[in-house]
A and B are shown apart, each in its own frame.
Chain A
Amino acid sequence: MKIAVIIKAGLEHLQTYTSYKNKVTYHPENLFLSTEDKSALEYALQLIEVKGGLIDAYSFEQGEVADRILHEAMALGANTATKIVTGDLKDPMQQNYLVKKLIQYLKNEGKKYDLIITGYSSFSQFAAIIADKLKMNYYDQLTNIDVNFNYEMKLEKGILKGQCELPMVITNLSSINTPRLANFSAVKKAINSKITEVSFKKLNKQKVSQIKVETEKSEKMIFNLDNDPDATSKLITLLERNGIMR
């Protein structure tokens, strides 16, 4: 089997962003492989153990974060690691372009996969675009899947069950398995292993999303608890609306 795992950093670490006096600082040194992608990799490893094959890990992260998560993937068992250094996959405007370029790259390299898997996240719709362009089956937000491709997708009340068909692209949640831990020898070997770097032509400024910070004008509200009989209930309603009270 030929499997591609598209991995990204997880934002679970509390210290990824810290703020002090209205200044937000980004700490990439706290970013490691996301839990969903660890599970994705674990599933790929289980498949390889049963059916044989190879796993290629891809990352669209930048700088040291890309290196770190690809090292993790290799330490866990990925055979190759590739980082795409152009663009931001989280940007909806760039997603289509980057996916097109990735597919072109895969075709040029003669890489044809039975399975492409990525951990589910808020921007993992790129997986659907990949499935569409490569004419692969697509299964989204799987909560369980076994090595015979029987899957489960948890609904609000109930579970959707079925069987996947290759070739396929899937996004998974972390509940599909408990990922293994690497060992230190493997981590050391991975740190000294080669990561292929791929870059595409950069999109010009007009074709990427721009961040605009909106300063909210805070509304001053006065609750006259002494004279207004409804003041208390108004205050409680506001606090509940803002999620401060439940």
Chain B
Amino acid sequence: MDKLKISEQRIIQTITTIITNGYIVGFMKGKIFTGNSKFICVPGLNCYSCPGAVGSCPIGSLQAVLGGRKHNFSFYVLGFIMLFGVLLGRFVCGFLCPFGFLQDLLHKIKLPKIKVPKRIDKPLRYLKYAILLIPVILLPIFLTNQYGMAQPYFCQWICPAGTLEGGIPLLIKNEPLRETIGFLFNWKMGILVLIIAVSIFIYRPFCKYICPLGAFYSLFNKFSFYQMNVDKLKCNGCKTCEKQCKMNVKITKDINSVECIRCGECKKACPKGAITSGVYLEGTVGVTKTNEHTFHQ
């Protein structure tokens, strides 16, 4: 049963990655998809310059609108992010994000794992909110050129997904693009290599500390329709779930914490079957007693 549950997450991650990057011809020709579906934002961090991408990255789109001449606020992109957030919260991170999937796979490599000390881990968790606020929102609005336009600062200087999904496959197939490689590409490759290497030893470092999209979705974790729940009547307080949680969530106190990516590892670890998850249409959940809520699993 455990193995089946693990494979469920991997299956969903694989399917989502394939669906959102389904333009296989793009990889073969070194060109990106130019169809109309690209006006729709996908839930995960998925670069629209990936040759296979059939939708748009919400973070890239947000910067494109904010950094354009016409608008200083993007109802459209925020609407998409709110929609995914209120429906699923950080379930998107756990199941629907291709870059989260990559980090999961890297962490499977059998090498010693590192647990970041609390005094470093805790303040670093706030970094993703600063990244959301400064390079994703404020700089594209205020740091503009003489035409009132701004660069997508996060994509340009930080995002490793763009380098991996867009940069590498496009540069492999395009000689003219390869000739333009300079400091910026080397900088971004450095970030990508660093995150790949760290992901082997630390669970999802990009999601924990850097990802502005995860930061956004985390704000919805307590309000989303998809919720985690601990049944206090069944829970014996053994904290096996907390020992198992790689995101270091205090499950018995705050299971729908901003850091929970709804991976379901706690649910599998619980010897009492006290942890459930699903779509709750009525009431709120978290740490409750049985039969208090309408629950559709």
* Chains A and B form a bound pair: no
Q: Which residues in A have some Cβ–Cβ distance to B below 8 Å? A: none
Q: Which residues in B have some Cβ–Cβ distance to A below 8 Å? A: none
